[in-house]
């Protein structure tokens, strides 16, 4: 697992693959509508939302080396910020984005500042504890739905004729956010800051001895990932028109973690690959059996036992073997 290493494949092959992938992603809604399967446009939008959330977790988990078991809290927080603002009649989407970034950034910075004092298993558990607090808080705010959740009638308004209620418009919006996140991540990893973060992950003591402000750098990564998670939440509530405490439940954090591991920890496309693989698997299994969880579990077990670096690892090996 060395994400900083140069790819062993010829650069042109990777570029060609990327170009094909982007073209496919851009054409997907048109093809689906042409095939009369427009239901799958909103499914693809859901994959993208989960991909953004999983990518933000991958930043903490994979690149930062911090095993956070409470990432769904930030996704849920972002969804609630937008949900509450819409139900209070504030529809300006730019305001939603700013508020989500602010609230999630501050929350992640506070939670990170306390959690990062602990290590290993204790870090896993304390991030989980904070997420549980937010989960129960969301359950108890009766004014905004309580445990029944909050339905919003309008969507974030961004002007420019963009209506997020429309599945195709939503798809392209989410695609743009995901592309921007992955691009930022690709620029971040080889940057000076990114290399410092990787050094801290690999050997914290040595990084500290070299003069890096390890605590502050980790905190920044944690907070930025929380903000991006919040944006995923903003998108989620806009897609479904609904937010409930279930979005913050610990099994959601677990699902995001599973997506990261499935797609490949500390790989650029790991979040997208994992989200797409898991949701597609569920969709296909659900079409054939009512017990899709059962078979999903077996597939995940097989991945743990036989594909150690997730799908991203398998893909890398396939690309490198030629």
Interface stretch with another protein, choices 48-56, 122-130, 156-164, 201-209 (CB under 8 A)? 122-130
* 256 contacts another protein (rule: CB under 8 A): no
The correct pick among 10, 16, 94, 118 for binding another protein (CB under 8 A) is 118
Query: How far is it, in rounded angstroms, from Cα 114 to Cα 256?
Result: 22
* 297 contacts another protein (rule: CB under 8 A): yes
Residues 156, 162, 167, 172: is their CA dihedral positive or negative?
A: negative
Q: Are the beta carbons of 73 and 80 closer than 8 angstroms?
A: no
* 258 contacts another protein (rule: CB under 8 A): yes
The nearest distance, CB 243 to another protein, in angstroms, is 17
User: Contact letters (x/-) for another protein, 139-158, by CB under 8 A?
Assistant: xxxxx---------------
Three-state DSSP class for residue 93: helix
Q: Write the CB contacts of 112 (distance below 8 Å, at least 6 apart in sequence).
A: 218, 219, 222, 223, 226
- Residue closer to another protein by CB (options 69, 212) is 69
- Residue closer to another protein by CB (options 101, 131) is 131
* Main-chain dihedrals φ then ψ at residue 92, nearest 5 degrees: -60, 115
* 291 contacts another protein (rule: CB under 8 A): yes
Query: How far is it, in rounded angstroms, from Cα 83 to Cα 151?
Result: 8
Interface stretch with another protein, choices 31-39, 101-109, 232-240, 251-259 (CB under 8 A)? 251-259
Three-state DSSP class for residue 248: helix
The correct pick among 217, 242, 250, 314 for binding another protein (CB under 8 A) is 250
User: Contact letters (x/-) for another protein, 12-41, by CB under 8 A?
Assistant: ------------------------------
The correct pick among 25, 129, 157, 217 for binding another protein (CB under 8 A) is 129
Compute, in degrees rounded to 10, the torsion defined by CA atoms 209, 212, 213, 214. Answer: -80
The string over 258-280, giving b where at least 16 C-beta atoms fall within 10 Å of a residue's C-beta and e elsewhere, is bbbbbbbbbbbbbbbbbbbbbbe
Site for another protein, rule CB under 8 A: 61, 67, 69, 114, 117-118, 120-122, 124-126, 128-130, 132-133, 136-137, 139-143, 250-251, 254, 257-258, 261-262, 265, 291-294, 296-301, 303-305, 308
């Amino acid at each position: 697992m060395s994400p900083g290493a140069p790819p062993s494949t010829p650069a042109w092959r990777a570029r060609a693959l990327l170009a094909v992938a982007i073209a496919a992603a851009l054409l997907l809604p048109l093809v689906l509508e042409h095939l009369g399967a427009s239901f799958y446009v909103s499914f693809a939008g859901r994959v993208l939302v989960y991909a953004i959330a999983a990518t933000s977790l991958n930043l903490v988990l994979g690149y930062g080396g911090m095993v956070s078991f409470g990432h769904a809290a930030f996704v849920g927080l972002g969804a609630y910020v937008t949900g509450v603002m819409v139900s209070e009649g504030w529809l300006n989407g730019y305001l939603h984005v700013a508020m989500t970034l602010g609230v999630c950034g501050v929350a992640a910075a506070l939670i990170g500042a306390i959690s990062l004092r602990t290590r290993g298993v204790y870090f896993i558990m304390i991030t989980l504890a904070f997420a549980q607090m937010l989960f129960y808080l969301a359950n108890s705010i009766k004014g905004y739905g309580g445990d029944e959740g909050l339905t919003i009638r309008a969507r974030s308004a961004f002007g420019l004729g963009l209506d997020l209620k429309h599945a195709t418009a939503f798809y392209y919006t989410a695609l743009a956010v995901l592309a921007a996140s992955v691009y930022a991540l690709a620029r971040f990893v080889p940057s000076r800051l990114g290399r410092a973060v990787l050094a801290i992950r690999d050997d914290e003591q040595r990084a500290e001895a070299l003069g890096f402000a390890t605590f502050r750098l980790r905190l920044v990564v944690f907070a930025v990932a929380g903000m991006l998670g919040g944006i995923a939440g903003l998108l989620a509530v806009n897609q479904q028109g609904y937010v409930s405490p279930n979005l913050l439940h610990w099994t959601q954090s677990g699902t995001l973690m599973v997506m990261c591991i499935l797609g490949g920890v500390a790989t650029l496309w790991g979040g997208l690959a994992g989200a797409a693989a898991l949701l597609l698997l569920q969709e296909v299994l659900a079409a054939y059996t009512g017990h899709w969880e059962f078979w999903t579990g077996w597939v995940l077990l097989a991945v743990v036992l036989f594909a150690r670096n997730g799908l991203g690892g398998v893909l890398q090996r396939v690309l490198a073997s030629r």
